Structures are given as structure tokens and as C-alpha cells.
Structure 1
Amino acid sequence: MIENYLGFPDGTSGADLADRARQQAVKFGAELVMMSEGVKAHFDNDHIHVRLADGESLTAKSNICATGVEYRRLGVADEARYLGRGLFYGAGAAEAPYCSNEHVFVVGAGNSAGQAVMHFANYASRVTMLVRGSQLSATLSQYLVERIEARDNVDVIYDTEVSALHGASAHQSPVLQGLTLCNRKDGSEHRQSASRLFVCIGGEPNTDWAMDTSIVRDASNYLVTGPDLLTHGQPPAGWPLKRQPFYLETSVPGSFAAGDVRHGSIKRVASAVGEGAMAVSFVHRYLQEHH
């Protein structure tokens, strides 16, 4: 549920907002290539060439990368084994109604985790929020902190992470039955019964497509853009233009990034939409330069 986007005082779901955006884009003549993942790209002769998962390819003078992030994993043994069988990534809105009268665990301390906790609290008998840090206020919006603290059926356990998953087979399929929780201060562990675990700990950027290109990525593989590319006021080596990179431009002229995939981005819907609109403006400026 998105509650802080201007113009939606009662909130809106991400799926509904995305579908409205799709309808609006089609209305203005955009061509959508659905269900075709871009798996590889290279730059040649001032063009980007993208190979799609279905074998097709796209070529363009300019591009905007807004591929976002994938959910970050816990990194414990048997994680894939329990996926969809008690372990879920993200807020799990579709799963919430099935959690009636259950004890639900949510891992994470960001806004997505806080929103998930409040959503599950409307269905589950108890919701436990597992937080690696020692406080929520450093990573969570204050309105969510206040809501979480006010709910009688919500607990927050600090300085804690999941170190193991436990379960048993049901009809030849593994089912989550418990967690091992580790105290990050003293290393002590204890086992906790659990059948629903939702992981909301951020994501990894979808930038593998750029792995063999000259695009600069940071240590976490986010695309570096604009002023962040400069060192002592100078663009990176290989930058071919006299001007400096535009604000959302990568180290390859004419290739832009917007939203969560970009280094240093503000993880909010409003800023992502704004960056998308700004990137389109920069594309026009770039194309005018190279007309």
C-alpha cells in the first residue's frame, strides 16, 4: 500500500498505480514490450543494443534504465526450499487474508517492512517485527513508528536476525515451521515456532545487463549518474563529450537511469516518478545535441 504519494489521500496499491500508468502510457502512444526481459546490452556507434530473453533485440539512440531492484534474500540455508511455503519476499499483500489468527514474522526495518507489519496486524493474531538495529526511527517514517507502537498485537524485537529456517514435509512439499533467531549483540540463539515469514530487507539492483559495458556502477551495482560521476569536478575517464553528464545520465552519453536502480536515489514513489519525467527531458536534450 502506497500512502505517501500526492493525490491519493486514501492510499493506492502498487499494482493499481502501475496499471494506471500503463493505460496512460498507451493513451499517449507508447509501445510496450511485455514479458521480455533485457538480459544483455552493449554500446556501439552511439547506440544501445539490447538483447531480450526471447531472442529479440532492440536498438536505440538513447535509453532510460528504470529496472528497479530484486528482493534481497536472507542468505540462510534452505531459503529457496521454503519460498512460497511459509517464506515470502516483500509485503505479501495477497497472503495477508490467509494469516487470520496466525503469528506472523516480518524481517526488516524500512518503510516497506513497517507497512507490511501494519497490514498483517489487521488479520493476524500477532505480528512480530525482527529488526537488526537497535531502533526504528533511523530507518522508518515517524508516522509508521507511531502506528506500530500503538498496535497491541505488534511486537518489535531489536538486534535480531534469522539464522536458520526449520520445517517438515507436508504432502511431499516442505513447509516452514520454525525459525532460529540470533541476538546480534551476544550471539545467543533461540528457536521460535513460525509458519509465516515475510522478508522486507531491500533489494539488489537489476543491472546485470550492464555488466560488460562501460557504464559505471557503485560497489552495490547501482548505476552511478550525474554529479556522482565527477571526481574533483571531472567526469570519468572515457567520457567523450565537452559538457559534464546530465543529472540522471550514466557514464555513457545518452544512457540515463531513474528510480531505485540509480545510485543515491530516494526510495519513494514520488521521487521515482519525478526522475522518470526528468530523464525524458534529458533524453530530448541529448537527441537535440546529436540531431
Structure 2
Amino acid sequence: MAKPTIVTVDDDESVSHAIARDLRDRYGDDYRVVRATSGADGLEVLRRLALRGQPVALVAADERMPGMTGTQMLAQVRDLAPTAKLLLLTAYADMEVAIAGINEIGLDQFLMKPWDPPADRLYPAVDDLLDDWSRANPDHSDVRVIGHRWSDRTHDLKTFLARNHIAYQWYDVELDADAERLLGLAGATADDTPVVLTPSGDTLRAPTTLDVATALGLRTQAEQPLYDLAIVGAGPAGLAAAVYAASEGLSTVVVEREAPGGQAGQSAAIENYLGFPRGLTGADLAQRALAQAQRFGAEMVLARDVVGLESRGPVRMLSLEGGTCIEARAVVVATGMSYRLLPAAGVEEMTGRGLYYGVGAGEASQCEGDVVHVVGAANSAGQAVLNLAQYAKRVVVLARGTSLDDSMSRYLVERIEAAENIEVRYATEVAAVSGDGHVESVVLTERGTGRQETVATDWLFVFIGATPHTAWLGDDVVRDDDGYVVTGRSLRHSDGASSWPLARTPFALETSIPGVFAAGDLRNESMKRVASAVGEGAMAVALVHRYLAAT
């Protein structure tokens, strides 16, 4: 396969040669660098590459070019190179233009000139853009998944692979001619699906995610008999705790049942996270945090569900599904939230068959040309709606309230209102879901009047809030009436009684079991924001140090 291309556009010959030289020095082994000296020339280069079917990874254009500015040129790139990353080269005075480019044309990054030395100012920005592009556009994959489009188990496996950044080739037994051939070569039939063919030649018939993780060499077992800190959950809070704990010398293990990132990892865009003016996807944030934690030596145990917690003297033991356990001197619980189930007829039969709770940023393309309904009106729903609208023919938002402004950030509302293929139906609830093997229609009820209407749809995505994932903790960990974990001084009741067993005051994030801390959305009185979850994860490690020093 031809090398992916980096296209640079700058009307100043000396600058054009300089940036092309610097990019070739750093990326020439893996990418072809092509330069153009005007916006029109750059677009012509992209047209030729598109005709040849050659991938374009990055387009870097100077803003101050005569005839066509860099922003004007980059606004047309998506038609010729849909997956390319867009980088604008600017002067300090062009800051407002760059911000407008982020909001209006989906600019990925801007970089102020001059960029000398490139090792400090150019390469870090380009590294991030090319890493993101490479993850989203793998040139090949030896993992193959064969199954039915509307199979819940197939969907779970594909989601697990995608969220763990494992590239795979997908074959639909009903649409792809090669699916039957591959099943035959593997000695399997359509009744065995989903079938996963691994690079080592193994055939996995209807495997669990643990089976797949083990077969692909992901770590599914802890390596040490005892850790300083065990972290349950690899969402923003858990990953932050892992980074700080491992970087400060604590032997650290993180146990995650699904994939790094938690619910935040499925977000199509986190646009209010400090330090990322362009915003970033939840998957990108999770991948960066995971790499950071592993760089410092934290272990990641995947596809394992923690089902119990108990104390054994100074040691805390986590029981894993399947009978194994992990022991640690301290524990941070960061299991976050589970989606609340939609209370409508037919939901159980249709879940995983066109009805899904949440949607990953990379899953929206499966809805190309279809009609999609989204239940919910919070920020997570708004981000998903905008992502789905890039592919779907029509997206219908079903909101219980009479205004999106009551529950959604204004910047999302404005984009939804401006999109031609997005419709919002207010004061509307789903009463029933039906279809022959997969979702084909929903019954909508108008709140107040009770009037019902049956409408056709291809997909139904649900974002109606979440409940804390804490039932596995058992009775020894005090929780409030809604299931959120009670921590710190809140363990003392208004009548003077206490759920705390020691003479000392519990640390701020400490639960009713000494040495067990809670961080992130599952903790009562938490802020339910990515940034606050990251902060609590870091704070929990500081408190773990205090606990370990005192024991």
C-alpha cells in the first residue's frame, strides 16, 4: 500500500521548502510529503491523490496566502480527503481566525509561525495529529469478525475491539460474499457467529470479550501477588489515579471490564476540557491517558469484571468474575455509571438489535443513509446527535422537556438547531419499540396529551441518564439511597452516629472501609464532569499515600 501523504501549502517558497524539509526529516520513512505554493495548487494535488485512491493523513496550510487563505482552502479539503487532519499555520494576529476555523470548518490544530526549533514546536503537534489519524485509519488488520449486523453479541465484540483500538475487518453474513467463504475455511457456519479469526490462525466461535482479549494477547491477569494500589475502573478518574500513583512509585494495577475511558471514552467530542481548544474525542483522551499510565509502569487488566471486595487484615481483596482475585494495600473505586434502561415495551428484545445505550464516536458511520432516533437531551446526547448527523439521512431527538437549553450546553444547542438533517421533538417519550429481528419502528407518546404515534426508524440510541455502578461493593461500603458511595465527613450522620470504624477522621474520598477510596461519578456529591473526575483521581492518590504512611 502507498505511503499516506502529508500535503503542505504555503505561498512563500522559502517557508514552503522549510516545512517540507522538516516534515520529511521526521516522517519521511512513513509518509510522503508533497508541497504546494497556493490554495488552488493544494486542492489540485488533493484531487489527483483522490483519483488515485491514495490516503491523505494531514494537510498543513498557511493562513496568509493571496487569492485563497489557508482557512478557505482547508474548508474544501474534506470533499477530497475526508479523513485528513487539518493544520493551520498562523501568526499571532490570526488567533481569532484560527478559533473560527475550529468552530466552522472542523480545524484540528493551529500552529503559530515560526516553528523553530521543530522538535519543540512543530513535531509534538504533528505527532498527535498523525497518531490520531493512524488509529482511525489502520492500513490493514489480521483480525476478522464475521457475524450478523443485528446480533447483540456481534455488536458487543465489535464495540470491545473498537474501544480498545484493535483494528479489525468486518464481514456481514447477509451482505458480504466473502463471509461464507471465510466461515467455510474456518470450519464454521453461520450458526456459530459471531466468529473471530485471529492473526495466529485461531477460530473463536461465539467468544466472550475475555476469550477475544486473551486470544489477542491483551493482559487479562494480574502479574503480582500484592500491589500498593488497585484501581477498579479505567474511566477518567481511574486513569488519572493510575498516572499519579505509578509516576509516584506505587505498584499499581487497573482492572477494567470493558475498555479504557468509561462512558467518557464513547464521547464523540469533549470540547470543554482544559488545554484542548479544538476539543478531543473521549477515545483520544482515554488512549493518551492509558499510554501515560503504562509509561509509568501501571498494569492494565482488561475484560475482567470485579464482583466483590473484602478486607483481610491490612490487605484489600478484589474478587474477579471467574474465581481469581487481586490483593492490594489500598483500593480506588472508580467504576463510574451504568446507563439507565429505557422503560418501554419491547426494549429487552431489541437491545443490541438496533437499540443501544450510548454510541461510540467511531460507530456513527454504521448509520450512513439511515433514519436515527436519539432519546435524551443532555450533553452526551447532543454530542452523539451531531456525530450521527454526519452520516445519517435524518436524526430525530426525542426530548421529555420543552427546551434543550434546560439540560444541554448552548454551543451544542446552536449546532443542533443549525443542522438541516436534525429534528427535535419536545415533550415526547418512547412507549414501545418493535421490529422483525431488529428495530424498525417506535411508538412515541406526547407528554401532556397522551397522543401516540408510530414512526419508522432504523436505529434508536438512548441517553436518559445513568445510575452508579456500585452494587458489587457489598454492604460494608456505605451508599446513599440512590446507590452513590458516601465518603469522608459525610460518613458521620446528623444524629451523631457514624459509619466509620476508626478513631481517626476518614480522609476526604475514603469510604466506610479504611483504605478504600472512591473517585469520580459514583461518589455522592461529585460534579459529574470529566475534569472533576480527573481531579478526584489525582486527589485519591494523595490520600492513598497518607493512608499507607499511617498503616
Q: TM-score, normalised by structure 1?
A: 0.90
1:175 aligns with 2:175: no
What secondary structure sits across from 2:485 in the alignment?
coil
1:163-202 maps to which residues of 2 (within 5 A)? Answer: 163-168=431-436, 174-202=437-465
1:272 aligns with 2:533: yes
What secondary structure sits across from 1:33 in the alignment?
strand
Whichever residue aligns with residue 99 of structure 1, its letter is: C
1:1-291 maps to which residues of 2 (within 5 A)? Answer: 1-168=269-436, 174-211=437-474, 213-232=475-494, 234=496, 237-290=498-551
C-alpha displacement at 1:46, in angstroms?
4.2
What is the CA–CA distance in structure 2 between the aligned matches of 1:228 and 1:184, rounded to whole Å? 38
What is the CA–CA distance in structure 2 between the aligned matches of 1:37 and 1:82, rounded to whole Å? 25
Pair 106,49 (structure 1): closer, same or farther in 2 beyond 3 Å: same
Who is 2:238 aligned against? none
Percent of residue pairs identical: 49
C-alpha displacement at 1:183, in angstroms?
1.7
Aligned residues of 1:120 and 1:127 also touching (Cα < 8 A): yes
What secondary structure sits across from 1:109 in the alignment?
coil
C-alpha displacement at 1:162, in angstroms?
0.7
Aligned residues: 283
C-alpha displacement at 1:87, in angstroms?
1.1
Aligned residues of 1:87 and 1:197 also touching (Cα < 8 A): yes
Pair 230,157 (structure 1): closer, same or farther in 2 beyond 3 Å: farther
Aligned residues of 1:91 and 1:200 also touching (Cα < 8 A): no
- The structure with higher relative contact order (CA 8 Å, sep 6+) is 1
**1:189-221, Cα deviation, whole Å (9 max, x unpaired):** 11111111111122222212212x321112221
What is the CA–CA distance in structure 2 between the aligned matches of 1:186 and 1:165, rounded to whole Å? 20
What is the CA–CA distance in structure 2 between the aligned matches of 1:140 and 1:22, rounded to whole Å? 29
What is the CA–CA distance in structure 1 between the aligned matches of 2:304 and 2:495, rounded to whole Å? 39
What secondary structure sits across from 1:259 in the alignment?
coil
Whichever residue aligns with residue 347 of structure 2, its letter is: E
Q: Which structure's CA Rg is the greater one?
A: 2
Whichever residue aligns with residue 208 of structure 1, its letter is: A
**1:204-254, Cα deviation, whole Å (9 max, x unpaired):** 22212212x3211122212122243333395x5341233332221112222
Q: TM-score, normalised by structure 2?
A: 0.49
Aligned residues of 1:91 and 1:115 also touching (Cα < 8 A): no
Pair 107,133 (structure 1): closer, same or farther in 2 beyond 3 Å: same
**1:13-62, Cα deviation, whole Å (9 max, x unpaired):** 22222222222111112122222211111234243221111311122222
Unmatched 5+ stretches in structure 1: 169-173
What is the CA–CA distance in structure 2 between the aligned matches of 1:10 and 1:182, rounded to whole Å? 38
Aligned residues of 1:205 and 1:260 also touching (Cα < 8 A): yes
Who is 1:171 aligned against? none
Normalized per residue, the structure richer in helix is 2
What is the CA–CA distance in structure 1 between the aligned matches of 2:422 and 2:459, rounded to whole Å? 15
What is the CA–CA distance in structure 2 between the aligned matches of 1:92 and 1:258, rounded to whole Å? 23
Unmatched 5+ stretches in structure 2: 1-268
Whichever residue aligns with residue 263 of structure 1, its letter is: N
What is the CA–CA distance in structure 1 between the aligned matches of 2:450 and 2:316, rounded to whole Å? 49
Aligned residues of 2:491 and 2:498 also touching (Cα < 8 A): no
Q: Write out the 4+ residue segments of structure 1 that deviate beyond 4 Å after TM superposition.
A: none
